[in-house]
Amino acid sequence: MIIASNLKANLTRVKTAEYLSELEKFLSAKNISQEVLVFPASSSLDAHAGRAIIGAQNAYPAQNGAFTGEIGVEHLDEFGIKTILIGHSERRHVIGESQKLIAQKFDFYSKLGFKIVYCIGEPLEVRKSGNEKMMHYLDAQYEGIDANYENLIIAYEPVWAIGTGLTPTLEEIESLHAELKKKSHAPLLYGGSVKITNVKEVLALDNVDGILVGSAALKVEDFCMMIESAQNLEN
């Protein structure tokens, strides 16, 4: 399974290094065979040797250049980073990234062979408007995206479940994931208020190939417990 933590704008460079060091100790001690990804803040990116894969939360679709506040491929190459998160709901709804820009990033980073964790998800009012409208909304998030890209992981993260403690029911997650699997055979993660207390149930669902965790993964011990849950399910 794929177990990912999105640290968002949390943990400084020093704290991130401590986090990764604790994580690596755990991965080795428990001989974890799950795919573990960590997405630190841009300023906390660094070279990393170990089992966990480090990815960028964002980067501009350019080698470098006049893109104030952004980083380019050059800055990822410096640390050997070949993994990127694209389309996260906070970038769509808080920062205001359009599907057009998101598709440009996807095109750019897929051509470079990056592992892409591509996020989709609907706001609450869309979910409340019924299944047909919701699927239509999610379909639009596949516009300009190569759903057959070989190095693709999709993360379904309902916007209203992110950082709120709310989640869809297990049945809702399972049936939506079954629908989404028809659009792409890429591994499909669930994200949105995953925590130690619900991780086992979520990971056990059909068509859930892993999780993308925010707040509950900020404490490395908790993230490790979630990884161990995944490992135990597979043993």
Q: Judged by CB under 6 A, does residue 216 bind ligand 13P?
A: yes
Residues 6 or more apart from 201 whose CB is under 8 A from it? 170
Strand order in the sheet with 188-191: 53-54, 35-39, 2-6, 210-213, 188-191, 152-156, 115-120, 83-86
Binding to ligand 13P (CB under 6 A): which residues in 168-197?
A: 191-194
Query: At closest approach, how far in Å is the CB of 38 from ligand 13P?
Result: 12
Q: Judged by CB under 6 A, does residue 122 bind ligand 13P?
A: no
Q: Judged by CB under 6 A, does residue 167 bind ligand 13P?
A: no
Q: Judged by CB under 6 A, does residue 40 bind ligand 13P?
A: no
Task: Pick between residue 74 and residue 208 the one whose CB is nearest to ligand 13P.
Answer: 208
Check if the beta carbon of residue 213 is closer than 8 Å to that of residue 5. Answer: yes
Task: Pick between residue 81 and residue 216 the one whose CB is nearest to ligand 13P.
Answer: 216
Among 52, 42, 40, residue whose Cα is nearest residue 7:
40
Task: Pick between residue 62 and residue 196 the one whose CB is nearest to ligand 13P.
Answer: 196
Task: Pick between residue 40 and residue 191 the one whose CB is nearest to ligand 13P.
Answer: 191
Among 219, 218, 211, residue whose Cα is nearest residue 229:
211
Q: Which of 42, 163, 175, 181 binds ligand 13P (CB under 6 A)?
A: 163
Build a one-symbol-per-residue string for 69-98: x at contacts with ligand 13P by CB under 6 A, - elsewhere.
-------------------x----------
Query: At closest approach, how far in Å is the CB of 162 from ligand 13P?
Result: 4
Check if the beta carbon of residue 195 is closer than 8 Å to that of residue 187. Answer: no
Q: Judged by CB under 6 A, does residue 214 bind ligand 13P?
A: yes
**Positions that interact with ligand 13P (CB under 6 A):** 6, 88, 157, 162-163, 191-194, 212-216
